[in-house]
Amino acid sequence: MAAVLFAAVLLLAAAQAQPELDCNGILLTYNLDRRDKIRPFVAAPDADAQPYSFRATATVRNSGTRALRSWTLRLTFHHREILVQLDGAVLTSGADLPYNTTAADARNATSFSGYPQTDLLTPIATAGDLAKIQATLNLVGTLFAGPPPYVPLPSALSLADPSYTCPPAINVSMSLSTCCVLTPEAAANATAGDLDAARATSYLPRGAGDLVITYDELQAHETTYLAQVTLENDALLGRLDGWELSWEWLRGEFISSMRGAYPRQVGASDCVYGAQGAFYKGLDFSKVLNCDRKPAVLDLPPSRRDDKDIGGIEHCCRNGTMLPKSVDAAQSKSAFQMEVYKMPPDLNRTKLYAPTNFMVSGASPLNPEYACGQPVRVSPTELPDPSGLASATLALATWQVVCNTTTAPSKPPSCCVTFSAFYNESVIPCRTCGCGCPASAAATCSTTEPSMLLPPYALLMPFERRAREAVRWAGERRLGVPRPMPCGDNCGVSINWHVATDYSGGWSARATLFNWEGVDVAEWFLAVVMEKQAYEGFEQAFTFNATAVGSGMILMKGREGFQYLKRESNMSGVDYPVAGKQQTVLLFSKKRSAGDGFPSRVLFNGQECAMPQRIPSAAHRRLALLMPPPLVFMSSIVLLLSLL
């Protein structure tokens, strides 16, 4: 009975002429078209859990004087809505359907990016053509009954564009509406070009992020186009190893051929038995590379760089390794090209659309996780003339996708740091469970006890062996041994920072890298963050290339011949596996007090390392002040050679 009454209310509201909100900006509306009770039926006292299917329509209309480029609508749902179908837009986050709008945080708005109609022109430039100034989003989903008074509408709707401010929406007959207007700052900065909505060359500015994907359409034909996809690593220290890129075709496209990269899965069965096979009757689909709606693409190995069939693209073929520009600008970019077939109604060389829902990931556990936005139309990319002439060729159309790292706070580090010094016999290990605890930790070791001091030689041993040495070391020095003993750090890579010498004019430190993993680490780099006095006194490093890069950070990488941190291996003469290692000595001047000489942060391959919870005691530090500078340098070199 309640559902029938609710439907009658909706019909009555639709029959009444609702006055349109007086709006000279961007008019946003949300209409609940229908709501139907669905199974399972829930009785009191759990009536709040009763599910209902709903259909709704949201509109974005440009009633102002400035074109709205790449519009994004934000709806704040608060009835545990689950979206199962969208038309006229895509989820900005690229998430799959069905999508739970309130599972993570009920206060967060759900963002929708327009597709395929991404831009809304002005009434002035289009003579009020509704098809060009308004976009419509159709939603189908499930919501749940709530406590009375029950209004099954979002609590807010707004634009994601920071240039606009949107007042609280008005509810009239189960319909929300609000008028978004330019902020005073945006209105004051608006130029004649901003207001000229008829200009086809008006694009949004290019964005910045940790990883930027550029989608260029280079050649266009009625049924096909040639696209170039470029990935640029713009993070200060982030890197990718074995990148995998995926996206979603929403208009029936498929990949005919590729150069510079290759699909993870090759096959055309989806085309042969789908609409593509019915339309392209004369096409030999045995030569089509991929017909997946969501293809996944991988970089090629270096051996295919000069392959005339699938290689020959600049910035390709490095096994998916992308270093940050601060480490190696030449290896911070990857690119590939592909021939794409289109489907009706896009059989026109001017009908150009980019795919959506880009996702990128790395093969290494050290790689960060990324969240990518939707493609944004930007100014065409200028490409160097292929003939070598001093001119540039413009892409026919260019879209940009900005991705940023989203490493969860709960994700454990993958590397750890130990501290030691010439004035103390013991090594301060990384904290207990620095990179995560084993599954059986509660039964075998303590996850809360502080890590135990170690003898220096124990750094060369795996944790099983290191634990025995810690007990022996504690017994010799009459230190307590907790029961159960603290868990290990469980880190695949560890870095020992050793303050080697200290004299009146300066000091030195030794950094040693240990790789306990079963694979080599190629093109590694290490960053240490020092306090100001120590950072400003940095002079040079041996065996590593080291550069002060600002914000107290010293960036290091191996010189030629030292770019690979070898894997763990068995070494003759010992009955346990030995880590691959590399080492350097760093020299610092001391115009002023240099503090304790230990870094506050250490990052390996861009990933934050777990740090010790204390530094070595400086009780005997005064003895080192008597060492002359030449002896300081020689002692550092001896220490360097001792662990190589």
For every residue of 15-70, DSSP letters joined together read: HS-PPPP--SSEEEEEEEEEEEE-SSP--TTSGGG-EEEEEEEEEEEE-SSS-B-S
What is the set of domains in the chain, with CATH numbers?
A: 26-188 (2.60.40.290), 211-385+392-406 (2.60.40.290), 415-610 (2.60.40.290)
**Is pLDDT of 20 > 90?**
no
Sequence-separated (6 or more) residues with CB below 8 Å from residue 156: 74, 75, 76, 109, 168, 169
Q: Average of pLDDT values for 596-618?
A: 90
What residues pair up with 512 in beta bridges, in sequence order?
A: 496, 583
User: In which band, very low, low, confident or very high, does the pLDDT at 633 lie, cut at 50, 70 and 90?
Assistant: very low
Which two tokens mark 510?
A: 């030794």
Task: Give the per-residue pLDDT at 242.
Answer: 95
Q: Of all helices (H) and strands (E), which one includes residue 631? A: helix 629-643
**Is pLDDT of 10 > 60?**
no
Q: Which residue has the tokens 């010189």?
A: 559
Which two tokens mark 415?
A: 């590397």
Encode pLDDT of 187-237 as tens digits.
887 654 454 444 445 788 899 999 999 999 999 999 999 999 999 999 988
Q: Of all helices (H) and strands (E), which one includes residue 641? A: helix 629-643
Task: Give the per-residue pLDDT at 11.
Answer: 44
Task: Give the per-residue pLDDT at 630.
Answer: 41
Encode pLDDT of 29-53 as tens digits.
999 999 999 999 988 777 788 999 9
Task: Give the per-residue pLDDT at 293.
Answer: 97
Of 582, 578, 435, the C-alpha closest to 522 is: 582
Encode pLDDT of 552-589 as tens digits.
999 999 888 778 888 888 776 788 888 899 999 999 99
Do residues 68 and 120 touch, judged by C-beta distance below 8 A? yes
Angle at 497 between CA 493 and CA 498, to 5 degrees: 140
Give the type of residue at 304.
R
Sequence-separated (6 or more) residues with CB below 8 Å from residue 8: none
Task: Give the per-residue pLDDT at 444.
Answer: 79
**Is pLDDT of 601 > 90?**
yes
Q: Which of 61-65, 381-385, 416-420, 560-564 has the lowest mean pLDDT?
A: 560-564
Question: What percent of the chain is modeled with pLDDT above 70?
Answer: 88
**Is pLDDT of 632 > 50?**
no
Cα–Cα distances in angstroms (integers) from residue 245 to residues 214, 295, 331, 382, in the given order: 12, 8, 17, 23
**Is pLDDT of 638 > 50?**
no
Measured between alpha carbons, how far is 12 from 396 in angstroms, rounded to an integer?
Answer: 50
Do residues 403 and 211 touch, judged by C-beta distance below 8 A? yes
What pTM value is reported for the model? 0.86
**Is pLDDT of 154 > 90?**
yes
> How much is the mean pLDDT over the chain?
87
Give the type of residue at 192.
A
Encode pLDDT of 394-440 as tens digits.
999 999 999 999 866 567 888 999 999 999 999 999 999 998 887 76
**Is pLDDT of 105 > 60?**
no
On the question of a cis peptide bond just before residue 629, with omega within 30 degrees of 0, the verdict is no
Encode pLDDT of 230-284 as tens digits.
999 999 888 999 999 999 999 999 999 999 999 999 999 999 999 999 999 999 9
Encode pLDDT of 433-474 as tens digits.
998 887 766 667 888 888 999 999 999 998 888 889 999 999
Helix ranges (DSSP H) in 230-388: 269-272, 275-279
> 35 or 596: which carries more pLDDT confidence?
35
Q: Average of pLDDT values for 522-529?
A: 93
User: In which band, very low, low, confident or very high, does the pLDDT at 106 lie, cut at 50, 70 and 90?
Assistant: very low
Of 319, 310, 274, 317, the C-alpha closest to 292 is: 274
Task: Give the per-residue pLDDT at 410.
Answer: 61
